[in-house]
Structures are given as structure tokens and as C-alpha cells.
Structure 1
């Protein structure tokens, strides 16, 4: 039996396994199209593989809230789906964003309604340095012609975990 992992995209998120210090810069109200006020805060995070390496979970702890991400890879479509939930909206799971990586940049999209406005949502991961990845969230209110970044996370690795198929 071969231990080779197929080069179909399932390993693209392996960089996330471990513990992280996370520097955040976020619009005070990401659902307000007129908001111009930014806040900065620190958080910690931890991620681990599940489902034989075809998925993983990560948790995010900030002073005022906790978040949870579930990511799953679909080998047939070669796409990742990412769900987010937070203690700020108990009982709510955001619609998943879907996408893939090319050249160390992952882009993931969905349609949603936020603050009464139809929006396209984009998550973008930049993983050129796997020990210091960057995540950005942006919304488009014009069908994807223009994007407005509203949340940036800069990660610094504090500990690794095994990325064996767990």
C-alpha cells in the first residue's frame, strides 16, 4: 500500500495544523457598507486534521468571542468547503465558501445576505510562508466586480502538530 498523498488539493490546508498567535485587523461592523472604523485585537488558534486528512477543524479564541471552522475537501470536485460559526451568533452556521489553491493563494467564495444586503463573500489564504500565513475576508456588493476587505488575520505559528492522516 502506498503512503503517497494524491496531488489533488487535499493537502493544501496542511499548513494550518498546529497552534497559532493571530493578529486581527477588522472593520468594527463588517455588515455595514459605510463602516470605515477598524479595530485590532489578538487571538489564539489551534487546528487539527479529521476524517483521514480530508478535513480539519480549528478553533479561534479572542477576548470577546470564540470561533470554530470546519473545512472539508471533496476529492471528486477537488474543492474545499469552509464553514464558520462563532459565539457572537449562537446557533448560526455561516453558508460555506468553496474554492481551491493556486500557487500558494487559496480563494473561496459564496453568496450571502448580510446587513440586509446581498453580498459575495471571499476568503483568501496566502500561504507562501506556511509558518506565517495570512487570511483575508472581503465582500462584494456589485456581483464580484469590486471587493472590500473587512477582516485580515496574520498568523504566527507557536506549535506544530502532526499532519498524519488522523
Structure 2
């Protein structure tokens, strides 16, 4: 029997999804204009359940392809989430965290326009057929946050 230590927290994401994206056009600029677009995603487990990998495909901005790699550390009981896309071709610095009371919160560091930012991913409203992911950035070490990307997942299969 597999221990209930958090390694199953992302099992809900396995399968195929349609995603409605809302992405802030200008980040950290006081903008309230959003791009809205659809994407498709497929996610599968890897490493005997210690992680998963997904592909993200959209026609947004001339076409956008990305992937997330999620790995569970059984010692710390935390997840590391890495992102890569066809724009950079590199695995980005991860956000790290976990789930509590059905909400997953993950933090990491990012750079935007030469400025360091604190990054937060939040997974919420998880059901067998839907989920919501939000990304937010802070330039004041988490005192205030600007949400700049929201994904609304609907299960296809």
C-alpha cells in the first residue's frame, strides 16, 4: 500500500483537459487587460507515482507549447513544479510547496523585465472533473500579490 504522505496530491490531474486561460497582458504594470484563450493538456504519472508530467498546447500568441514536471520529495513531503516551453527551451526554476485542506500553494523566485519577483501558484476548486490554477507575482516579498494567469480546467478524459 502506498503511504498517504502527499505523493497522491496531483493524481486528480492525470488525464486530458480543456483549459480556459485568462492571462494578464502586461504584468506588474497596473494593467487590467486580459488575453483569453483555450488550451489542451494531457497529464500522466511518472516514476511510479513520485511525479507527473504534462503537455500544454495552445494557439495563443501564434502558438504556444509547454510542459510541467512535478516531482514529490518524500523526505520533505513537498512538491517541486518545473515549467518549460517552446519559447525558452529550458526547465525553469521550480516553485515548491504542497496541499493543505484541498488547496495547493507553491512558491518560487522569478525574474520579470530584470526585476526579481516572488511567484505563487495556487491549485484550488479541485473536483473529479474540474480544477483552477492561479499564478501571482509579488515585488514586495509577499505583502501584495498581482494575479497574472488563471487556468480553469475541465476534464475531457
Report the counterpart of residue 73 of structure 1 in structure 2: 72
Matches within 5 A, 1:128-147: 128-147=126-145
15-24 vs 105-114, greater mean Cα deviation: 105-114
Q: Identify the residue that residue 84 of structure 2 maps to in structure 1.
A: 85
Structure 2 SS opposite 1:133: strand
Unaligned runs of 5+ in 1: 160-166
Looking at structure 1, the residues matched to 110 and 101 of structure 2 have their Cα atoms a distance apart, in angstroms, of 27
Question: What does residue 28 of structure 1 align with?
Answer: 25
**Deviation by residue 1:52-79 (Cα, 9 ceiling, x = unmatched):** 0001100000011001000000000000
Compute the displacement of 1:35 (Å): 3.2
Unaligned stretches of 5+ in structure 2?
none
**What is the CA–CA distance in structure 2 between the aligned matches of 1:83 and 1:29, rounded to whole Å?**
23
TM-score by length of 1: 0.89
- TM-score normalised to structure 2 length: 0.94
Q: Within 5 Å, give how 1:1-166 maps onto structure 2.
A: 4-30=1-27, 32-63=28-59, 64-89=63-88, 91-159=89-157
Name whichever of 111-120 and 144-153 sits farther off.
Answer: 111-120
137-146 or 107-116: bigger deviation: 107-116
- State the aligned residue count: 154
Q: Whose strand fraction is larger, Structure 1's or Structure 2's?
A: 2
Q: Aligned partners of 1:135 and 1:109: how far apart in 2?
A: 13
Cα displacement (A) at 1:36? 2.8
Deviating runs (4+, > 6 A) in structure 1? none
Compared CA separation, residues 127 and 72, structure 1 to 2 (3 A): farther
Structure 1 residue 128 displacement after superposition: 3.3
**Which of 1 and 2 has higher RCO (CA within 8 Å, sep 6+)?**
1
Secondary structure of the structure 2 residue equivalent to 1:52: helix
User: Residues 132 and 152 of structure 2 are in contact (CA less than 8 Å); yes or no, is this contact kept in structure 1?
Assistant: yes
Query: Post-superposition shift, 1:150?
Result: 0.3
Give the secondary-structure state (helix, strand or coil) at the position aligned to 1:15: helix
